[in-house]
Structure 1
Amino acid sequence: MTRGQIRREAVSDQVFAVVRDRILGGVLPPGSALTAERELAAEFGVNRHAVREAVKRLQQARLVEVSHGGRTLVLDWRHTAGLELAVGIVAAGDPSASADLTRDALEMRACIGADAARLCALRCSDVAAAAILEAAGRYLTAGPDLADLAAADIAWWRLIVEGSGNLAYLLSFNSLVGGALPVAAVPDDLRAAELLDVEAHVRLAAHIAAREAAVAERLARELLARSIPLASRKANR
């Protein structure tokens, strides 16, 4: 990004995004000193306050560390950054970064969903198990429209994740379906094989209600993994 591309209405956001991408791309490798504030201000034609705000966000994202001597060092983001970095990449609207991230998020979704199903079978109350069975019954009548199936699918999975009793899974689920991560933007037709398998949804609900944790985990992983290859092929076009 050149100086002329920095938008005045969000200069600190723009500086943050550029420097973040330089760190992620290895232009600024781990252990190196971050470009000085005055140099960044001159490069982008912004004041140093905007640069300081950008550096503060980099620090909050655990991409850099401000040492006691005043130097700002680049961290190894693969060891320090959290899921909020992925959310930030999506918010920046970089299609090249978001394509692979969609695949990665779908893989994470399959892992979380499979283990949530296992934990739900082990932990959920009888009332919660009955609600999951009832929601699976409603799923039978939701189709064949894919948008209706997708909405019913989210409501059903929410019951399973809540039944797992794992708060970290629930917060991740909220990010996955709420648009913070790119799974929510995957077109329904790319998930048709998963959404249209009504019988698998019903069987999974029955295994959870029967407390068959291992079978529930395996079936949930198989069901959710159906969307991954399609999304990967689209991302690699």
Structure 2
Amino acid sequence: MIPLRDALFRPVRAGNAFEETVERLLQSIRLGVVPPGERLPAERDLAGRLGVSRVTLREAIRSLQDAGYVESRRGRYGGTFVTAVPPAAAPGRPPVAADLPDALTLRAVLETGAAECAASRPLGAAERRDLRARLDDCASAPLAEYRRKDSRLHLAIAEAAGSTSLTAAIADARTRVNALLDRIPLLPPNLAHSNEQHARIVAHILDGDAESARRAMAEHLDGTASLLRGFLA
């Protein structure tokens, strides 16, 4: 399994190094890759992964610290940690109904393909444990943490497909979809149904049934798409 952090903390483009560094760090926080209370990778390691200078990285971290997303701790076990309660997103242009078709089509193509690819690969014991752990985390998540745990499960499936580029693309697509999902209510009956669908998807992947994994993922995404169209279109 290709580590998700490798997909998100990939080299940025030189022209907008600071801005893209901030974007990557925020994406890792919002998608739950580095959850509340957890430490970011060490500065030297993170700068190397992102392909930026440590000065640029420090400026980005300082900006996120000022905005309330991270905090620095000193001492032997110090470092930069995601705050326990990240701030609400800054106001901006809300997603509109016109964003729906593009975002949903992209997600459907990427995530059904990822499920099929994951089921087609000979997964190792660690990969299987990770998928089961993410599935359990999502099923037991309290309402306030459901979006983050759900994102991590979908990203774990992307990781299991074995392509850094695909995982990065799904992370970007998921960020767009989450912006839309944040505008509709969490409905307990839907979450219970989603968890049942998640279990089927993971079971098909672990069984190596690629076609069934693709179909199960498509059905799951269709349900989410129906809610989004119903509330936002």
TM bracket, shorter-chain basis: 0.5 to 0.7
SS in 2 for 1:165: coil
The whole-number CA distance in structure 1 between the counterparts of 2:134 and 2:177 is 25
Q: Deviations over 1:84-119 (max 9, x none)?
A: xxxxxxxx8386xx4221332023212211110110
SS in 2 for 1:196: helix
Unaligned segments of structure 2, at least 5 residues: 1-91
1:203 aligned onto 2:203: no
Paired residue for 1:133? 132
The whole-number CA distance in structure 2 between the counterparts of 1:230 and 1:208 is 26
The whole-number CA distance in structure 1 between the counterparts of 2:163 and 2:188 is 28
**Identity %, equivalent residues:** 23
Mapped contact 1:114–1:221 kept (Cα < 8 A): yes
1:222 pairs, out of 216, 219, 224, with 219
Q: Deviations over 1:111-153 (max 9, x none)?
A: 211110110111252221221022212222114x1x3221111
The whole-number CA distance in structure 2 between the counterparts of 1:222 and 1:111 is 13
- Report the structure number with the largest CA radius of gyration: 1
Amino acid of the residue matched to residue 93 of structure 2?
A: G
Mapped contact 1:121–1:212 kept (Cα < 8 A): yes
Amino acid of the residue matched to residue 185 of structure 1?
A: L
2:119 pairs, out of 118, 121, 130, with 121
TM-score, scaled relative to structure 2: 0.52
Mapped contact 2:107–2:174 kept (Cα < 8 A): no
Paired residue for 2:102? 104
Unaligned segments of structure 1, at least 5 residues: 1-91
TM-score, scaled relative to structure 1: 0.51
SS in 2 for 1:160: helix
2:163 pairs, out of 149, 155, 166, with 166
Mapped contact 1:129–1:208 kept (Cα < 8 A): no
Question: Structure 1 or 2: larger helix share?
Answer: 1
The whole-number CA distance in structure 2 between the counterparts of 1:135 and 1:169 is 19
CA RMSD of the aligned region, Å? 2.6
1:150 aligned onto 2:140: no
Paired residue for 2:9? none
The whole-number CA distance in structure 1 between the counterparts of 2:111 and 2:180 is 18
Mapped contact 1:99–1:235 kept (Cα < 8 A): yes
